[in-house]
A and B are shown apart, each in its own frame.
Chain A
Amino acid sequence: VKILGLSIVVGLGIVIGWWWTRDDVAPTPATQPSQHSRRTAATQPSPRSLTSRSSVTSTRPTLAQQPLPTLEPAEVDPARRERQEELWRALRAFATDAELTDAQWEQFQRDLSELAALESATMRDAIATGNFDGIVDLSNELELELELRCAAYLTKRQVSALRFRFDGLVTRVRRLYYVPQFAPRT
């Protein structure tokens, strides 16, 4: 009986001790965010953080990971399709007149699409939260980022042609090709 009583006291002590210190121990796997969700958060672009040039460039995926995006008109809505075609003609005219090689043209499309997708992600976030602060500044920065990226593989004359022909090009592509989407919750 004595041994039993002692065991109960010791057992109760252990339980109370565990309960008292449970906040200090590491969370159980069930309470931790899943590896998948953490990885997603780390790899998806975080538009709000894109306030410095380094952060913009650091989100750039390698070419091997990127499918080749095309800005060829594919919209079904006739009015938007017409505007896509207009932009496409302007882009092709730039490529032809500035004598872009195929490789330059493909890289240019990649950069333009990627930055437009980033702006779209930022807009999506803004629409979801209703907070549009800093969006225009970020868009201006993305325009500058496009020019800087292009300077790495286009000649000065080609970059001048780009500057001459387009204003707000990243935003224009975002508006016509990367309209933020929301799915209904089910």
Chain B
Amino acid sequence: VLAGVLSVGLVPKVGQTEVIQVRGCAPGWTMHEAGDDWWCVADWPDSGGGGGGGGGGTGGSGADELGGGATGGGDSGPVRQNGWDDETWQEAKRRWKCGLCKKSAAKCASQAHTKENRCLQDAKAQALWRCNVLERRKQEVPTVTAFGCSIDHHARGLCTVSERPWNDPSIWSYECRSVSTDFRDRTKPEYKCIGDGVYNCEQSWALSHPGGSAQTVDSGTLSALFEGFGGTASKTVTANYTLSPMQGYIKSCTDAGDALARACNEQRDACYEQYKCGQGDM
């Protein structure tokens, strides 16, 4: 930006120096002045400029085609400065839109991450339920690990499908004991089952087991929004995921998050293409 400033030094008379400065900012930037100080602020949204430059008269054209974007959030677009010809003004708008492409992509990527986290959270909740000894007993269903066996079967060495180190019966032990603090009230005993067996049951669902079952135990779709602007429609991108003992939920959710983020980037690239954005616009 500073390179765009023209400083012209003139020497009208010998021994007397006069400096005349012609100040200006590059297209897409607004000049601000305070006393002798001055600076350029970018008009596009990433830098927070938001077209905040005051004083400059706007040409009146183009404001309507800039507004109305879902990504707006107060971004009103660049402000046409005095002295800008149409070409300069179009260039400023194009650069601003490139900034919006970038901003939409970043928001889309953040959403992809949020959805990935939710996938992990839900899968973990399911794993906790499958390994909850007491609750499963109440409902008269056995616990189930990612190997399709109950914790008790593992502990007794009866589960033959698990690979090392999961096939060691000693890692599946656990104990259930009373955790009641009020020993006088024996009508409401409170129990808790803890130990490596319960922990490992939960972890078995998180991790991949190459020899495990590929049968889908849950599936879903993650989605994120690439927000449109300036008359361009928003687009929802999606990625499907399936949870299986073979894959483990960490990889399944992570892969789905990655697929979603890549779909966001495809939209960004299309946006860049539309507005002929290059690295100089960033």
Footprint of B on A, CB under 8 Å? 79-80, 83, 126-127, 130, 132, 135-136, 139-140, 157, 160-161, 163-165, 167-168, 171-172, 175-176, 179-182, 184-186
At the interface, yes or no: B279 with Cβ under 8 Å from chain A? yes
At the interface, yes or no: B261 with Cβ under 8 Å from chain A? yes
Check if B265 sits within 8 Å of A167, measured CB to CB.
yes
25 contacts between A and B (CB under 8 A): A83-B258, A127-B124, A127-B206, A132-B120, A136-B113, A136-B117, A160-B282, A163-B102, A164-B277, A167-B102, A167-B261, A167-B265, A167-B268, A168-B106, A168-B261, A172-B258, A175-B257, A175-B258, A175-B261, A176-B258, A179-B250, A182-B206, A185-B203, A186-B168, A186-B171
| Closest beta carbon of chain B to A80's beta carbon, Å | 7
Check if B258 sits within 8 Å of A164, measured CB to CB.
no
Residues of B within 8 A of A175 (CB): 254-255, 257-258, 261
| Closest beta carbon of chain B to A181's beta carbon, Å | 8
Q: CA of A167 to CA of B272 in the docked complex: distance in angstroms?
A: 13
Q: CA of A181 to CA of B42 in the docked complex: distance in angstroms?
A: 43
Footprint of A on B, CB under 8 Å? 102, 105-106, 109-110, 112-114, 117-118, 120-121, 124-125, 165-166, 168, 170-171, 196, 199-200, 203-204, 206-207, 250-251, 254-255, 257-258, 261-262, 264-265, 268, 272, 277-282
The 5 closest A-B pairs by CB, nearest first: A168-B109, A164-B279, A163-B282, A132-B117, A185-B196
Q: CA of A160 to CA of B255 in the docked complex: distance in angstroms?
A: 28
Check if A130 sits within 8 Å of B279, measured CB to CB.
no
Check if B279 sits within 8 Å of A185, measured CB to CB.
no
Main SS of the interface on chain A? Answer: helix
Beta-carbon nearest neighbor of B117 in chain A:
A132
Residues of B within 8 A of A127 (CB): 120, 124, 206, 250
Q: CA of A127 to CA of B127 in the docked complex: distance in angstroms?
A: 12
Check if B203 sits within 8 Å of A184, measured CB to CB.
yes
Query: Assuming A127-B124, A164-B278, A186-B170, is B254 touching A179 (CB within 8 A)?
Result: yes
| Closest beta carbon of chain A to B124's beta carbon, Å | 6
Beta-carbon nearest neighbor of A165 in chain B:
B279
Beta-carbon nearest neighbor of B128 in chain A:
A130
The residue among B121, B265, B279, B280 with the most chain A CB atoms within 10 A of its own CB is B279
Residues of A within 8 A of B117 (CB): 126, 132, 135-136
Residues of A within 8 A of B281 (CB): 164
Beta-carbon nearest neighbor of B164 in chain A:
A184
Residues of B within 8 A of A164 (CB): 272, 277-279, 281-282
Beta-carbon nearest neighbor of B258 in chain A:
A175
Q: CA of A175 to CA of B120 in the docked complex: distance in angstroms?
A: 13
The residue among B204, B261, B281 with the most chain A CB atoms within 10 A of its own CB is B261
Check if A182 sits within 8 Å of B207, measured CB to CB.
yes
Query: Assuming A182-B203, A184-B200, is B121 touching A130 (CB within 8 A)?
Result: yes
Residues of B within 8 A of A160 (CB): 279-280, 282
Residues of B within 8 A of A79 (CB): 255
Beta-carbon nearest neighbor of B125 in chain A:
A130
Beta-carbon nearest neighbor of B103 in chain A:
A167
Q: CA of A79 to CA of B262 in the docked complex: distance in angstroms?
A: 14
Q: CA of A167 to CA of B277 in the docked complex: distance in angstroms?
A: 15
Q: CA of A156 to CA of B113 in the docked complex: distance in angstroms?
A: 28
Beta-carbon nearest neighbor of A135 in chain B:
B117
Check if B279 sits within 8 Å of A157, measured CB to CB.
yes
Query: Assuming A127-B120, A186-B168, is B106 touching A167 (CB within 8 A)?
Result: yes
Residues of B within 8 A of A165 (CB): 279
Check if A185 sits within 8 Å of B278, measured CB to CB.
no
Given contacts A79-B255, A80-B255, A132-B121, 4 further A-B contacts (CB under 8 A): A83-B262, A165-B279, A171-B109, A175-B257
Q: CA of A126 to CA of B110 in the docked complex: distance in angstroms?
A: 17
Residues of A within 8 A of B165 (CB): 184, 186
| Closest beta carbon of chain B to A101's beta carbon, Å | 18
Q: CA of A92 to CA of B123 in the docked complex: distance in angstroms?
A: 35
| Closest beta carbon of chain B to A104's beta carbon, Å | 16
| Closest beta carbon of chain A to B113's beta carbon, Å | 5
